[in-house]
């Protein structure tokens, strides 16, 4: 998924949905790290993309938090 599509998708999510997405991405990140450690990871760029997606979700959560405060 491109960054632009991801931003548009995240913009429409509620804070609860963003929290769920963050949990899902953290689990995926853990699984990718585990695969890399065992030598089973085929798409190494996915690690980078997931890391950036985690940061993107955290940024949206922080922005929502500061808007409501």
Residues 6+ positions from 39 with CB-CB distance below 8 Å: none
**pLDDT values of the chain reduced to their tens digit, one per residue, 69 residues:** 567 778 889 999 999 999 999 999 999 999 999 999 999 999 999 999 999 999 999 999 999 989 887
From the centroid of its chain, how far is CA 2? Answer: 13
- In CATH terms, the fold of domain 3-68 is Helix Hairpins (1.10.287)
pTM: 0.88
What does the domain layout of the chain look like in residue ranges?
3-68
């Amino acid at each position: 998924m491109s960054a632009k599509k991801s931003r548009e998708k995240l913009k429409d999510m509620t804070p609860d949905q963003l929290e769920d997405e963050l949990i899902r991405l953290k689990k995926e990140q853990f699984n990718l790290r585990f695969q890399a450690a065992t030598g089973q990871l085929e798409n190494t760029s996915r690690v980078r993309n997931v890391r950036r997606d985690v940061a993107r979700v955290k940024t949206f959560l922080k922005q929502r938090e500061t808007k409501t405060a």
